[in-house]
Amino acid sequence: MGRATAGVIGMRFKTSEDHLLSMDVVREGAFVVTVTDGGFAKRTKVDEWNSKGRGTQGVRAMKLVEERGGLVGAMIADETDQIFAVASNGVVIRTSVSDVRATGRDTMGVSLMNLGEGDTLVGIARAAEKDEDDDEATEVAEVTATDAPEAVPEAPVEASEAAAEPTEE
Closest CA relative to residue 91, chosen from 126, 120, 125: 120
Residue 169 covered by a domain:
no
41 & 69 share domain: yes
The residue type of 130 is K
Beta bridge pairs of residue 95? 83
Q: Supply the pLDDT for residue 94.
A: 92
Q: Please state the pTM of the whole predicted model.
A: 0.67
Q: What angle do CA 111, 115, 116 make, to 5 degrees?
A: 150
For residue range 75-112, what is the model confidence (pLDDT) as tens digits?
999 999 999 999 999 999 999 999 988 888 778 888 88
Based on the fold, state whether residues 57 and 106 are members of the same structural domain: yes
CA torsion, ordered 67, 92, 134, 148, to nearest 10 deg: 180
Residues 156 and 121 occupy one common structural domain: no
Same domain, residue pair 50 and 98: yes
Q: Are strands 31-36 and 71-77 parallel, antiparallel or unpaired?
A: antiparallel
Cα 128 off chain centre by = 8
- What is the number of domains present in the chain? 2
Residue 160 and residue 92 share a domain = no
Cα angle for residues 116, 74, 122 (degrees, 5° grid): 30
In a domain, 155, yes or no: yes
How many beta carbons lie within 10 A of that of residue 95, not counting itself? Answer: 16
User: Do the domain assignments include residue 105?
Assistant: yes
Q: Are residues 62 and 118 in the same domain?
A: yes
Q: Is residue 62 part of a domain?
A: yes
* Domain identity same for 65 and 113: yes
How would residue 2 be classed by pLDDT, with cut points 50, 70 and 90? low
74 and 139 both lie in a single domain: no
Q: Does some domain include residue 26?
A: no
Tell me if 2 is assigned to some domain: no
Task: Give yes or no: residues 118 and 148 share one domain.
Answer: no
The range of the structural domain enclosing residue 72 comes to: 31-126
Q: Is 38 in the same domain as 76? A: yes
Which amino acid is present at 136? Answer: E
In contact, 4 and 87? CB cutoff 8 Å: no
What pLDDT, in 10s, does the model give residues 15-55?
A: 888 878 888 888 888 998 999 989 999 998 988 877 777 87
- In three-state secondary structure terms, 101 is coil
Q: Are residues 115 and 148 in the same domain?
A: no
- Residues 113, 140, single domain; the answer is no
Q: Give the rounded distance of the alpha carbon of 167 from its chain centre.
A: 44
| 40 SS3 class | strand
